[in-house]
Amino acid sequence: MGIAPDRGYDSDLDNPNVAGVHAVTARILDGKALAQQVRQEITAEVALLKAQRHVTPGLTVVLVGDNPASHVYVRNKQNACNAAGMSGQTLRLPADVTPASLIETVESLNADPSVHGILVQLPLPSHIDERAVLTRIDPLKDVDGFHPANVGLLASGSPRFVPCTPLGVRELLLNGGVETRGAHVVVLGRSQIVGKPMALLLLQRGPGGDATVTVCHTGTRDPASFARQADILIAAMGQPEKVNADWIKPGAVVIDVGMHKRADGTLCGDVHYPSVAEVASAITPVPGGVGPMTVAMLLRNTLQAAQRS
């Protein structure tokens, strides 16, 4: 189960799931509206940090190559960063950059006190070992939450920086009044970006945690049978509209992390929205669900990195 997360597309244009197009009984968990609220709060905190400590949170994104989707994601991140009053820059490197040169770039950002957050946009070209690069980012500037030190802190129950998509999902659940304590949550997908950290986050003590978690993956036999047991189903499989109504327990909450483009150019997630929305009690749309929250959580992580600096 690969992962194609909805990272930052927050337009309703060409959205086949907007109200009025299909019969929907589920309550919509509106990530776009919540992200706007979170970003307003972050903007106020950034202004306060500037006034009190003369510190401007700085995020630098390293973009390697010409992947069109990556360019869109990076542009959205940079625009959001600037809108919040932060300092945002993008370092563009050629697709044939050597691993040593890329690591040298990361090390220079580690040493730059004006840079509080470093994000290396994935995927990287095939000749570069992603893990080797990510482990060279200063854990205190790892606002993506992928460094082994930050992964370990999350696993041990003392999270510092958590990957942004799982954080966004938790915010949606908390804001939507969805009780996770004692709930059976099934996560479809075990990626380092979403599936694994999502499961670890749901296992934390306190609000948005204390769940009983099942993780399904490519080795799982009949994942639909597990999905049908879920009080909360989080789909991060990377398979367009794979999850249909037959996978859903009536009244379950469904979070769709996927983002795909159909042949006609319209967008969809891992969930077949029209059928699932008639069975679930609450559901996230694609676009306008998890994606905007991912960007908002990146800003929050960057702000926290600056506050700790």
Q: What is the mean pLDDT of residues 5-11?
A: 41
List the CATH number of the domain containing 269. Answer: 3.40.50.720
Domain total of the chain:
1
Residue 4 lies in a domain: no
d(CA 24, CA 243): 16
Phi, psi of 96, rounded to the nearest 5 degrees = -95, 15
256 neighbors 275 (Cβ within 8 angstroms) = no
Domain membership flag for residue 112: no
| pTM (whole model) above 0.75 | yes
Give the tens place of pLDDT for each residue, 57-114: 999 999 999 888 788 888 889 899 999 999 999 999 999 999 999 999 999 999 999 9
Q: What is the pLDDT of residues 242-283, one digit of tens each?
A: 999 999 999 999 999 999 999 999 999 999 999 999 999 999
Judge whether 77 counts as a catalytic residue.
yes
Contact between 192 and 226 under an 8 Å Cβ cutoff? The reply is no
Q: Considering 10, 32, 77, 138, which one is annotated as catalytic?
A: 77
pLDDT value of position 24 = 60
Q: Tell whether 217 is covered by a domain.
A: yes
User: Is position 121 annotated as part of the catalytic site?
Assistant: yes
Better-scored residue on pLDDT, 143 or 19: 143
Of 108, 115, 54, 112, the closest CA to residue 81 belongs to 115
Is 295 within 8 Å of 78 (Cβ atoms)? no
Among candidate residues 32, 78, 121, 196, the one labeled active-site is 121
Set 144, 231, 256, 270: catalytic member: 144
- Cα 293 to Cα 141: distance, rounded to the nearest angstrom: 20
Give CA–CA dist 29/18, Å, rounded.
12
What pLDDT does residue 32 have? 97
Domain that holds residue 218: 27-31+163-291
16 in a structural domain: no
Cα–Cα distance measured from residue 203 to residue 212, given in angstroms and rounded to the nearest whole number: 7
